Amino acid sequence: MRGYNTTAQFIQALEKAGELVRITAEVDAELEVSEIACRVMRHYGPALLFENVRGSKIPLLINAYGSNRRMCMALGVDSLDDIAERITSLIEIKPPTSFKESLKMLPHVAQVRNFPPRTVKKADCQEIIYRGDQVDLGMFPIIKCWPEDGGKFITLPQVITRNPETGAPNVGMYRLQVIDRNTTFLHAQTHHGTAGHLRMYRERGITKVPCAVAIGGPSVATYAATAPMPPELDEWLLAGFLRDEPVEMVKTLEHDLKVPAESDIVLEGYIDLEDFRTEGPFGDHTGFYTLKDEYPTFHITTITTRKNPVYWTTIVGQPPKEDYFLGKATERIFLSILKKTVPEIVDMNLPIFGVFHNFCFVSIRKEYPHHARKVMYALWGLGQMSLSKYIVVVDSDIDVQNTDTVMFHVGANVDPQRDIQIVRGPIDVLDHASDMSGWGGKMGIDATRKWKSEGFPREWPKELEMTPETIDKVSARWKEYGLPMALKGEPSMARRGVLLESQANSGGGKIGTIESGGAQMGG
């Protein structure tokens, strides 16, 4: 098995690796935990285990995924590219039989189906049971993240619902604002899986939708809740594939939904589609407060826990934060699937300052005139990529993990009147700049070198680069020069780009790996 089966095992491994700090001083769940975590995350610091949160007997774990090293530990790999290579060897795509089908064409990871979840009859997550008047969210150290938040929020949940038509489960990460001891909001945005389920239940006249929320458990489980899985493959299949072992699941006490058997905490109940209320504000990953909006309520009828549960949480806000590493893992893991759909892609970077949906940098092997625009439209037609606000396309020899390099070529290669494509379409509902929620303008920027066949009449200048022989000679003799090794630097960008492309072509390169302990990409 890869990763860790329980929170206790993960904490033990993090501590042994020097990746966790225990905080025994009493802290307040309202703002104080958030401020401490913010300062640590800003410096790409360790996971934090708060053992004495005022008003709760349950310890709080935060920033568990907050570095590339810890993300790899959680998934049981040395590099995220290892997972991408495993997925690459398994991908199959069924040829579309119609234009409509081609738009819906999704990659099919055949052998993922070898790891279906395994159901058990008894589970540690049901060792302690609370029902009726015993149900009280106040027992948990749920935090208030930012001063103007509408209340306390559960921020790392695995929210589980079921498709009423097929019975297939969906697992998503949707924040839950606490209303009272047994009620929260469910912030399922319209583009996501659970929102689709709720629309299907409403169409069938069903207003009480069974729902379970798991917290903690196997180290892959929380990540799986964030992964953009195709509808026909549920997140527990992905978790089993990542673990090399099926995830053990147990039936909830209230309904036939199943949750990871090793979860720390499980909330059971129903989403009330006749009870919408005003949720928020919430200090979001955009760095701004998401405004108040109407969302359905989640009514909790049963709570179950392990004997010694740990409450997992996180905070979001202006990067860097823990969610950056969860999102970066998805970028690297699913890049191989994206390449099967858009094969001209060499590499992609969702830069940290773009908070995932604002910016997408992509390098391509340009094969025909205006190829960059084809890639823009292809990405705007794919799942969560459809919400990308700015897509920048560069040539294959440009390292998109180096944001300065990308912007250099935007400045050098782009004529704004000729190379910018403005469209309108769906955008992230958290985008506050658009006139309408979830709908607005998007920009594609063609920063590739321009060809005469694209109507460019002039000769394109050659970019500066040193000869490979000189680069290798200087690198080999650096110590002889008596200069500090810190000044040795790297080969010229052009040379690095050639190396990057050759690695991509060979299929064996470690492209764009985040360095341990920080969000430094490339190299």
Region of poorest pLDDT, from 273-287, 424-438, 488-502: 488-502
Residues 396, 303 share a domain: no
- Average pLDDT over every residue of 421-430: 85
The pLDDT assigned to 513 comes to 29
The answer to whether residue 230 is domain-embedded is: yes
Same domain, 87 and 222: yes
Same domain, 299 and 372: no
Do the domain assignments include residue 328?
A: no
Specify whether 366 is located in the same domain as 219: no
Distances (CA, A) of 217 to 3, 22, 115, 184, 222: 11, 19, 18, 22, 8
Read off the pTM.
Answer: 0.80
Q: Kindly state the DSSP code that residue 30 receives in the 8-state scheme.
A: B
Are both 399 and 266 inside the same structural domain?
no
Do 38 and 102 fall into the same domain?
Answer: yes
pLDDT tens-digit map of 89-146: 555 444 444 444 444 444 444 445 567 889 999 999 999 999 999 999 999 999 999 9
User: Is 512 within a domain?
Assistant: no
Strand partners, 311: 60
Question: What average pLDDT does the structure give for the chain?
Answer: 86
pLDDT at 337 over 90: no
> Residue 89 has what pLDDT?
58
- Residues 302, 400, single domain; the answer is no
| Per-residue confidence band for 487, with pLDDT thresholds at 50, 70 and 90 | confident
Choosing from 313, 330, 358, the residue where a domain stops is 313
Instruction: For residue 295, give its domain range.
Output: 7-313
354 and 240 both lie in a single domain: no
Contact 400, 347 (CB under 8 A): yes
pLDDT for 102 = 41
Residues 25 and 240 sit within 8 Å (Cβ to Cβ): no
Alpha-carbon span 429 to 70, nearest angstrom:
30
Residues 104 and 172 grouped into a single domain: yes
Number of structural domains in the chain = 2
pLDDT in tens, 60-98: 999 999 999 999 999 999 988 888 777 765 554 444 444
For residues 379 and 477, state if they share a domain: yes
Measured from the Cβ of residue 89, the count of other Cβ atoms closer than 10 Å reads 9
Res 494: pLDDT: 43
Is a pLDDT exceeding 90 seen at residue 181?
Answer: yes
Q: How many CB atoms lie within 10 A of CB 161?
A: 26
Write the DSSP assignment of 112-128 as a string of letters.
Answer: GGG---EEES--GGGSE
In a domain, 325, yes or no: no
Which percentage of the chain shows pLDDT scores above 90? 62
133: in domain: yes
Q: For position 303, what pLDDT does the model report? A: 98
| Residue 234 bears catalytic tag | no
- Does 33 have pLDDT greater than 90? yes
Return the H-helix or E-strand segment holding 440: strand 439-446
What is the C-alpha to C-alpha distance for residues 246 and 249, in angstroms, rounded to an integer?
A: 9
What CATH number has the domain bearing residue 147? 2.30.110.10
Give the CATH number, domain containing residue 450: 3.40.1670.10
Exposure pattern of 400-416 as b/e (b: 16+ CB <10 Å)? bbbbebbeebbeebbee
What is the amino acid identity at position 210? P
Contact 220, 244 (CB under 8 A): no
Whether omega before 461 lies within 30 degrees of 0, making that bond cis, reads: no
Domain assignment present for residue 511? The answer is no
Q: Within a domain: residue 523?
A: no
Distance of CA 365 to the CA centre of its chain: 26
Tell me the average pLDDT across 312-330: 89
By the 8 A CB rule, do 271 and 94 touch?
no
In the predicted structure, residue 219 carries a pLDDT above the cut 50: yes
248-297 pLDDT per residue, tens: 999 999 999 999 999 999 999 999 999 999 999 999 888 889 889 999 99
As a whole number of angstroms, the distance between CA 285 and CA 182 comes to 27
Helices in 205-345 by DSSP H: which ranges?
Answer: 221-226, 235-243, 322-341
| Per-residue pLDDT at 64 | 96
What 8-state DSSP symbol labels residue 463?
P
Whether 234 shows a pLDDT value over 70: the answer reads yes
pLDDT band at 491 (very low <50, low <70, confident <90, very high): low
- Single-letter amino acid code for the residue at 436: M
Structure tokens, 411: 């400045």
Q: Which of 284, 395, 419, 428 is catalytic?
A: 284
Q: Is residue 174 part of a domain?
A: yes
Indicate whether 75 and 194 sit together in one domain.
Answer: yes
Same domain, 308 and 346: no
